[in-house]
């Protein structure tokens, strides 16, 4: 009986470790190798498209209580190096309670290409984006989605639409750039975002990315599918639907939006819970994401779905390791060596997390612990129906 239980514990250790390593290390290594041996290049850079071939672009964004940010945002959009006759701006005010409406009225005088829409009730970002696309009508060739917070590099739009010179490409994500510390080091969440950017870059070099940055991404107008009103992750499900429809969705090098990371891991925790809960919601809205043979199943599993399993895989691995140590010590001590080492790794991870919370140092452990907690709580958030598109301050 002990031998059987030990074998089962070792099988659980092996399976959970394989999924953990595959998600966070194996998948990026596979992408790196694939991009080297079988790359799929596409147009890139601000000069990839001739001036006469640049598409008509509608930039759309929706916001709630963004009066403070909108003047700088519109100034950033107006400064884009792009033919003005081929560029229009569409902004939705989602029942703001600050001075957003008055600010937009003033901005319309300064920016004749600006069209505005106001919702009398707070209906959330997706419904407002759908309305803006309706206002844009059939005029644009390309829809560009972004947020009010992040300014854009002047060359960002030319770089963003460059990949669309390849007719097999249906959309592209920009590059959300986070600055390092003054001493050149990268904070925990900043390092995590660089890891995420690496994945998107290699995914694009070998096929399609799994999602985009909400700060800047584009879709061909004819490929746009209206968002569900309660959708949380428009920047993930929209690009995935382009890929499910048979077109590639890639990473646009040089299409930079600038943001700052938060040093407040409580803020990052709440944002991550919402994002990970949005993955559960996306699978409910689009069951094809969970079906082998859909064209995105493998990448979606390793890049997105595997992260939802993080706390459960860690828990199973830790419990199985503890059980294996106890059973092997009773009957076959040598078989306790590997699970004991794994168990020590678990203890080290959570000791580092506790120490980082107490001292403010060892930020990488705090980041990892925050991600584990967020992945666990995201499932509960989704189960209790708390995943909504309503505007919330993180």
Q: For residues 165 and 286, what is the distance between their CA atoms, to the nearest angstrom?
A: 28
Going by pLDDT thresholds of 50, 70 and 90, the confidence category of residue 262 is low
Alpha-helical segments (H) within the chain: 2-21, 27-37, 70-78, 100-110, 125-136, 156-161, 188-206, 234-244, 265-285, 297-300, 306-308, 310-331, 337-359, 363-383
CATH at 82: 3.90.550.10
Q: Does the pLDDT of residue 178 top 80, yes or no?
A: no
Q: Does the pLDDT of residue 390 top 90, yes or no?
A: no
Lowest mean pLDDT among 19-28, 133-142, 190-199, 225-234: 190-199
Residues 122 and 225 reside in one and the same domain:
yes
Residues 203 and 331 reside in one and the same domain:
no
Q: Does the pLDDT of residue 253 top 80, yes or no?
A: yes
Distances (CA, A) of 385 to 278, 378, 390: 11, 11, 13
Residues 141 and 1 reside in one and the same domain:
no
Residues 56 and 32 reside in one and the same domain:
no
Residue 73 in any domain: the answer is yes
Res 394: pLDDT: 46
Residue 111 in any domain: the answer is yes
Residues 163 and 26 reside in one and the same domain:
no
Q: Does the pLDDT of residue 199 top 80, yes or no?
A: yes
Res 171: pLDDT: 98
pTM above 0.85, yes or no: yes
Residues 197 and 301 reside in one and the same domain:
no
Average confidence score pLDDT of the chain:
90
Residue 94 structural domain: 51-261
Residue 290 in any domain: the answer is no
Residue 241 in any domain: the answer is yes
Q: What is the count of structural domains for the chain?
A: 2
Residues 227 and 150 reside in one and the same domain:
yes
Res 354: pLDDT: 79
Q: For residues 10 and 358, what is the distance between their CA atoms, to the nearest angstrom?
A: 34
Residues 192 and 340 reside in one and the same domain:
no
Residue 247 in any domain: the answer is yes
CB atoms within 10 A of CB 78: 15
Q: Does the pLDDT of residue 45 top 60, yes or no?
A: yes
Residues 79 and 3 reside in one and the same domain:
no
Residues 108 and 82 reside in one and the same domain:
yes
Residue 276 in any domain: the answer is no
Work out the average pLDDT over 243-266: 87
Residues 124 and 253 reside in one and the same domain:
yes
Residues 24 and 65 reside in one and the same domain:
no
Residue 88 in any domain: the answer is yes
Q: Does the pLDDT of residue 221 top 90, yes or no?
A: yes
Residue 135 in any domain: the answer is yes
Q: For residues 154 and 81, what is the distance between their CA atoms, to the nearest angstrom?
A: 5
């Amino acid at each position: 009986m002990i031998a059987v239980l030990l074998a089962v514990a070792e099988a659980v250790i092996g399976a959970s470790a394989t999924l953990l390593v595959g998600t966070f290390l194996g998948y990026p290594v596979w992408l790196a190798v694939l991009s080297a041996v079988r790359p799929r290049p596409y147009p890139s850079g601000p000069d990839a498209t001739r001036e006469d071939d640049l598409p008509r672009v509608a930039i759309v964004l929706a916001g709630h209580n963004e009066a403070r940010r909108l003047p700088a945002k519109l100034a950033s959009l107006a400064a884009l190096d792009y033919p003005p006759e081929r560029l229009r701006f569409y902004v939705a005010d989602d029942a703001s309670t600050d001075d957003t409406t008055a600010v937009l009225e003033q901005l319309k005088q300064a920016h004749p290409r600006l069209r505005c829409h106001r919702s009398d009730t707070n209906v959330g970002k997706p419904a407002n984006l759908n309305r803006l696309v309706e206002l844009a009508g059939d005029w644009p060739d390309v829809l560009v989605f972004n947020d009010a917070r992040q300014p854009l590099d002047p060359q960002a739009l030319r770089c963003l639409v460059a990949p669309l010179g390849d007719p097999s490409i249906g959309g592209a994500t920009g590059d959300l750039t986070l600055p390092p510390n003054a001493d050149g080091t990268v904070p925990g969440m900043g390092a995590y975002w660089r890891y995420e950017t690496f994945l998107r870059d290699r995914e694009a070099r070998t096929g399609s990315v799994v999602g985009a940055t909400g700060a800047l991404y584009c879709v061909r107008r004819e490929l746009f599918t209206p968002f569900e009103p309660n959708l949380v992750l428009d920047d993930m499900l929209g690009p995935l639907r382009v890929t499910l429809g048979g077109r590639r969705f890639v990473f646009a090098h040089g299409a930079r939006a600038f943001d700052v990371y938060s040093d407040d891991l409580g803020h990052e925790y709440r944002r991550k819970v919402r994002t990970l809960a949005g993955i559960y919601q996306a699978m409910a809205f689009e069951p094809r994401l969970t079906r082998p043979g859909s064209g995105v199943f493998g990448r979606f599993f390793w890049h997105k779905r595997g992260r939802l399993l993080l706390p459960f895989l860690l828990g199973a691995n830790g419990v199985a390791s503890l059980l294996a140590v106890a059973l092997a010590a009773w009957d076959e001590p040598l078989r306790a060596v590997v699970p004991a080492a794994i168990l020590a790794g678990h203890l080290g991870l959570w000791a580092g997390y506790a120490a980082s919370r107490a001292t403010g140092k060892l930020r990488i452990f705090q980041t990892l612990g925050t991600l584990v907690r967020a992945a666990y709580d995201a499932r509960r958030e989704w189960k209790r129906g708390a995943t909504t598109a309503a505007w919330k301050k993180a």
